[in-house]
Chains A and B, each alone.
Chain A
Amino acid sequence: MKSFLNPKWIFIVNTLPVMILFCIAYGDYQVINSLLDEEHITLWKYFSTSLLLLTIINFIYAIYTSLNKKKVSVWYSIFMLCSSITFLYIYFTKSDELIPWGIPRWMFSGNIMTYIGTFLMPTLVYSLLQIVIKYTPKSQQLKAWINLLVSIAIPLSIYFFTLIIGPLWRLGSNPLGIHTVIILLVGATLIFLFFLTRCIYILVINKKETWVRYAIIWKIPVTVIMPLIGLHLNNNEFHHIFGDFSNLWFYILAAFNGIILCLPNKPKKWYRLSLFMGRVISFTYTLYFFVVFLPFLPFSIAAIIVFGAGFLMLTPLVLFVIHTNQLWEDFKYLGPYYSKNILIGSIVVGSLLIPSYLSVTYYNDRETLHQVLDYVYIPNYDKTYTIDTSSVSNTLSIIANSKESSRGIFNSQQPYLSSYFNWLVLDNLTLSDQKINDLQRIFLDKSKTKTQKNQIRNHGVNITKIDTQSKYDKQQKVWRSWVNLEITNKNESLKEYATTIDLPQGTWVSDYYLFVNGVKEPGILAEKKSAQWVFSSIRNQNRDPGILYYLTGNKVAFRVFPFLANEIRQTGIQLIHKEPISLRIDGHELDLGKLSKTPIKSIETKEGLYISPKAKSTLKKVKRKPFFHFLVDGSSKKHLPKYKNLSKKILSEYPNWNTQAKFTIIDHQIRDVSLNDDWKAINIQGGFFLERGIKKALFENYKEEVNTYPVIVALTENMNKAIFLDEDLADWQFTFPDLNNFYSLNTKGEICKHSLINNPLVHDTVALFKEGQKVLAHHHQKKTIAFLKNDNKPSLILNEKPKESKIEEVKNWESALNLQLKWQRQILYPSDDAWLKLVKESFKSRIMTPVTSYLVVENEAQKAALLKKQNEVLSGNKSLDLGEDTLKMSEPELWIILLLLGLMVRFKSRRF
């Protein structure tokens, strides 16, 4: 025990934990920095400087004493104890100012409050132990039970004091009184812990025979019963206050740990080695709870007084001491029988067993999650996926549980383990409730109600004045039109203005402004998700943002917030368009640009073609042949035979449409079948993912460029159970020029018509299936043919093999066209790379695309928050200004070199 007086311990108990704490705190500070006021930032600086100063003092002292071969002085321990307590005390009183309540807690990597306790507690425990060792000389025959009695007497006296004398003093009525009470409580806790530690220390150094002989009597309650009761109380009576330890494994490990510590130490070397291995394996469990409960050590006395059962909080500490001591005893016993290498190897392997098992399990969860996310959100429509739904179920339930609101003191389900899970499985990001809901519906058929999406509603906030200015850019041969709006809130309360604008094909948003406090603030083009994140967080604080972003297809959402009672605000949008357009904003019809004498026909770019209404009028009209594509609801297996008969009946009623009829059974997967197959033999899992079925059907038909088109019929009993992730399929319009609706049919024979370009779950009951309209055939690139919608609006055609295009100029119409075509290609062939490229090119061209958004924010902090979020979204990728084929000369990872060097050194030392 005297080895604790060695100053090297200071590096382990103080320098190292504080360095880790600094790294965590620095990371968190970087995230919340822009949301802090000057005053809070100063406070952060004071605290970090003080902690750094204390650590440097400790470090210098440790170096000095080590070099001079001195032991740690008791005065130094007292200084370390007092300074750390003072720091913690001031920290907790000022914690509200350090981390104001306005900052969302999810922005932190964990609960910073408990982390500070965790990382400073080793210093406190070490200092206390030093003092105990100093004031417990071995020469004197001290009695452990006296110390135990004193430590028990302390909480009891405080209890009686608060019950009888305390109310007369009324200390808690003023701030000074509260501080006095806290300081007295801290002092009492220190004395309590001093005597308790002294009691344990005396027991350890004296090793009284009676204690050793009857060890089983005190070991069973301390190592088996108390941990199990503690777990039970935390999980049931105290609602996971210290974390969610309700998993059966916590109980199994607690029992195993207790039993293995209680087993007698018989003098048989194989038995003892097995015991040692078992104790090493379960030591990580003891260590985990020791670390978790370390910050609560000072509160143990208060917990004992208030709850009585608070003494259970000391169990991890006592268990840790017993376990460590036991391991040391085993090690000493086994020393003469086995080589040091075998014993150290056993320690390394054994202690890594539980963490490795946990890591492998988490890694599997990660693989499953990534596979599932790829399948749902960036699918390859050509690929057939096989996903193990049982694994998905397990992973999703873990993620969903980790987001539950009741989170106890640690702000996470399982202290430290949840952070590890978030890091390994979720890359420190989170999965939105919407996505969890979607995945549960798709893979587990859990019919939860769809979460409410942002509603575009407007009550009493209207456009009161519109002014337009269209200017023809002769150089680029495009129109640039400003639409300036004056919007008035006619209500007597705070309101938001929100509307949608249907942009004609070939028209894009190229600029935006909003007046904030009389100053015209230009819009910032930002990545869409980041911009929406910033907008919603600012809206919650009633600041001044305005935002423009694409919904689906060419529909753009336009929102301004807030409008005070009767407030008038001014805002404007710049549009870039090739031809004159008619626009409708909130019921106001606008004509932008003038007709030229020489109308535009078609414009070819590297990505594809723009076909003007004039050019379309010259194209040949063709009537493509319809065929039935039945999408069968596979979520209910018992209905499958009925659906089979129903489809046969429909085919006989519409003989002209049945030649190429297709059948697809849909659960979470999409499986093409034929009428000859046994549909009941198919293994069904998950919900009716109809959106994927429709998209795959459209994708296949579009790709084939054939003279036929599918009439999609969903065979289902309950259309409301059909899963759609997007609001509608307006983005896919170019793939269904003939028919912009699909049908649903139930076993009663009721036919309903659903739109593909509006909410697909809304339906009209119809009597018959109807074929689509004629389309326009456009032959391009000599070989291929494209079918366009027969209307007087412009259309776009994708090149089969696009050439590499670069953004040369800002606000260029052709660049905008290329971006739009790239977006269309990305719809058919989604990928992270394509998305990232689109975001970057949108920034470069300053044209808003479906992946970006125009946003006005109020101040620099909000701009910084936006940029930070944006960098997170775009992180780790190539720079914007460089060509995409630029090669980075990255050096090898540090760990690879260190690992190889380590292996070489090991190999060399073995050979020689």
Chain B
Amino acid sequence: MLPKINPIHYVLLAIIFVSMKFLYTQLTVNDLTFIIGPVRLIITLFTKAQSTFLHNQGYYFSELKIIIDRSCSGFTLWIISFLSMSLLCIKHTITTKARLVGFGIAISLSYLFTILANSSRILTLILLQDLAKIKWIHEGTGVIINLTFLIVTYMLLDITLTKKQHS
């Protein structure tokens, strides 16, 4: 059975998207520890570098001379990954109830995904050392890693869900 096209679900997604984006403008780095905290743990695990949390500024790694602040929280990636996972959910479900449950799963799954992708991005930038200071390399690396994560995850989930549907 083909998935039902219900515009309300897309409108609902759009509203969630705009609300999340608006929410992000209002959040300070102190409110974002729930998303940058785990990233900081992963970085410490891999680099063995210690960090300190500076109020209103973020996690400062004095050894690595980097700071994980509001602009590197990964919140934007979270929004996009949530959006792509929700669209997948619309693609593979039929009823409104299933879709609403799917949206709920998408938000938690995209949160985990964001932490993983964002940590990988930061670790790569640390590996690049001085090269990461060049703006376009910094930006480009971020774009490549985030996009790769998004596409690979989307495809894997799509294949898994299609297989499940057929079985």
Contact = CB atoms under 8 A, between A and B. Distances in A.
Interface of A: 8, 11, 15, 19, 23, 63, 66-67, 879, 881-883, 885-894, 896-898, 900-901, 904
Nearest to A878: B67
A886 B66 contact: yes
Given A879-B57, A883-B65, A893 B8 contact: no
Contact of B139 (A879, A886, A892, A894): A892
Given A890-B72, A890-B138, A897-B143, A904 B66 contact: no
B64 to A, nearest CB: 8
Nearest to A22: B22
A901 B132 contact: no
Interface string B112-144: 000000100110010000001100001100110
B130 to A, nearest CB: 9
A897 B146 contact: yes
Interface size on B, as a range, is: 35 or more
A66 B146 CA distance: 36
A900 B140 CA distance: 12
A890 B71 CA distance: 5
Contacts of B15: 15, 19
A640 to B, nearest CB: 46
Contacts of B57: 879, 881-882
A23 B143 contact: no
B73 interface: yes
Given A886-B60, A889-B68, 19 more contacts: A8-B8, A8-B11, A15-B15, A63-B8, A63-B12, A67-B8, A881-B54, A885-B65, A887-B65, A887-B133, A889-B122, A891-B74, A892-B146, A894-B80, A897-B76, A897-B77, A897-B80, A897-B143, A901-B84
Contacts of A894: 21, 76, 79-80
A281 to B, nearest CB: 28
A891 B72 contact: yes
Nearest to A27: B25
B118 A891 contact: yes
Interface string B6-24: 0110011001001001100
A416 B66 CA distance: 41
Contact of A23 (B22, B133, B150): B22
B74 A67 contact: no
B159 interface: no
A904 B73 contact: no
Given A63-B8, A879-B54, A887-B132, A19 B67 contact: no
Interface of B: 7-8, 11-12, 15, 18, 21-22, 54, 56-57, 60, 65-69, 71-74, 76-77, 79-80, 84, 96, 118, 121-122, 125, 132-133, 138-139, 142-143, 146-147, 150-151
Contacts of A23: 22
Contacts of B125: 887, 889
Contacts of A893: 76
Given A888-B72, A892-B146, A882 B77 contact: no
A892 B142 contact: yes
A881 B62 CA distance: 12
B109 to A, nearest CB: 18
A896 B8 contact: no
B143 A900 contact: yes
A888 B146 CA distance: 17
Given A893-B76, A901-B80, A887 B67 contact: yes
Nearest to B96: A67
Nearest to A894: B76
A887 B66 contact: yes
Contact of B69 (A19, A885, A888): A888
A891 B146 contact: yes
Contacts of B7: 8
A883 B63 CA distance: 12
A520 B72 CA distance: 43
Contacts of B79: 894
Interface centre among A882, A888, A890, A904 (most CB of B within 10 A): A890
Contacts of A885: 65
A889 B80 contact: no
A15 B18 CA distance: 12
A901 B76 CA distance: 14
Nearest to A885: B65
A885 B122 CA distance: 17
Contacts of B132: 887
Contacts of B11: 8, 11
A881 B143 CA distance: 29
Contact of A888 (B8, B67, B77, B121): B67
A25 to B, nearest CB: 13
13 contacts: A15-B15, A883-B65, A886-B60, A887-B67, A889-B125, A890-B71, A891-B77, A892-B146, A894-B21, A894-B80, A896-B143, A901-B84, A901-B147
B67 A882 contact: yes
A904 B148 CA distance: 12
A880 B85 CA distance: 39
Given A897-B80, A900-B143, A888 B71 contact: yes
A891 B69 contact: no
Contacts of A66: 8
A894 B17 CA distance: 12
Given A67-B96, A892-B146, A894-B80, A882 B60 contact: yes
A885 B150 CA distance: 31
Contact of A891 (B8, B60, B76, B147): B76
Contact of A19 (B18, B60, B77): B18
A66 B139 CA distance: 42
What are the 5 tightest A-B residue pairs by CB atom distance, in nearest-first order? A889-B72, A892-B142, A890-B71, A894-B76, A892-B143
Contacts of A881: 54, 57
B60 to A, nearest CB: 7
Contacts of A886: 60, 65-67
A891 B121 contact: yes
A879 B29 CA distance: 13
Nearest to A889: B72
Nearest to B81: A897
A67 B139 CA distance: 43
B56 to A, nearest CB: 8
Given A879-B57, A891-B121, A898 B146 contact: no
A900 B147 CA distance: 8
Contacts of A890: 71-72, 138, 142
A889 B67 contact: yes
A617 B153 CA distance: 76
B143 A889 contact: no
A893 B136 CA distance: 12
Nearest to A63: B8
A898 B147 CA distance: 10
A136 B112 CA distance: 55
Contacts of A11: 11
A888 B66 CA distance: 6
Nearest to B118: A891
B74 to A, nearest CB: 6
